[in-house]
Amino acid sequence: MRGSSEVKETHDVIKGYDAEGRRQINEYIFLKTLAVGSLCKVKLACLVTDESQLFAVKVFSKWQLRKKREYFRNKEGGGMTYKDQLQNVLMEIAIMKKLQHPHLVRLHEVIDDEENDKLYMVMDYCSNGELLSWNLKTLKFRPFLKGHDHLSETDIKKYMRHLIRGLHYMHMNNIVHRDIKPQNVLIDGNFKAKLSDFGVSQLFPGNQEGDDKLSKTEGTYHFMAPECCDPDVESFSGKPVDVWALGVTLYCMVYNVLPYWDDTEFGLFQKIHLQELKLCDSRQISPGLKSLLLKMLTKDPLKRATILELRMDPWLNEGCKNQLSTEESPSMLSEVTQEDLNHAVTPIHTLVWAKQIGKKWRLQAAQHRGASGKSQRDGSFSSGGGHGSSEDGGKQGGAGIDIEKAFGALRMD
């Protein structure tokens, strides 16, 4: 299994303990808990036959996953149906089975016994952890490198090249990640960056321009693209959204802070949608890196750099033996079946939430126009906290953002 690109499927679970009293599942010994999320635990495991081979194992309770349901309106028949979290996990597995790239976290084995409640996903273990860790108190990131306050431009270039290779592979195969952020970039023991967490990724049939249309947002608020925050936009292309999120990740790598911040959903979406990008003056960066940031964080998705254009970026290729632009294109995946896709429904709660946000946005914009005597079109729609006279004490969009929920350092669901 270790030398094969195929994902092993195991349908029998044998539980026990080794001679040292450590939990054993089939050929794996659980060493410690790496993380605990709302839907699963992540365990560090090794092989019984070779303790130097380490893996990260996601452990799910299928019963708990089935309990968490989202209700949908079927696009084809118009009737009501539901989708539980188990189906989402199975979709993630289906996508990961098709992904074989050195800069994407690889799925090695799925252990799913019908007579056992647990489902196990055995994946690459990245011993250096997240590229950047988020500090909720300081609202800043910190690089994984101990003793370093920030990443050097050399390191930034190295990891950006890794991520662009991985994302190029996904986009060439018409897969959109949809939740790129520093916490979903893991660094392995050889200091290679790998994109992880494909729980909200989307597979699209075909491979033509415009095949990647989306009608609902996923991912982490602070990394959403302007078109996702525009209440008047009903659908958008997924690939430019990934480039924007990677651009925000690059911004975090450079400055250790987010480019846009607000205490409310409305305020945050408003800033992402309308506020001009400002580069921090806390750090002087090269003109080439500045140019890369600006082309990735262009508001207009039609003018934003594509992944192919990023491969030709001068700064990313400067001083590198291998030019990204001349590297061989990644191989195509096997044909995607309808069963693989399984995305013929639209979640009602997401649409309702989006419409509610849109209504709040339009209402507050109208109130602001009435107070200022200006129209939104002339640029007066404030991108700051300029609604202090509202009945809720100046909080746009009602309640403030639950930061731990909206921007959790670890996404396990």
Which secondary structure element, helix H or strand E, spans residue 316, and what is its range? Answer: helix 314-317
Distances from the Cα of 305 to the Cαs of 220, 294, 301, 324, 361, in angstroms?
21, 9, 8, 15, 28
CA distance 68 to 84: 6
Which secondary structure element, helix H or strand E, spans residue 193, and what is its range? Answer: strand 193-195
Query: Active site includes 179?
Result: yes
Catalytic residue, chosen from 12, 112, 179, 211, is 179
CA distance 395 to 233: 24
CA distance 130 to 150: 14
Exposure string over 236-248, b if 16+ CB within 10 A, otherwise e? bbbbbbbbbbbbb
CA distance 127 to 55: 9
Residues whose CB is less than 8 angstroms from the CB of residue 149 and which lie 6 or more positions away in sequence, other chains included: 142, 143, 256
Q: Catalytic residues, which ones?
A: 179
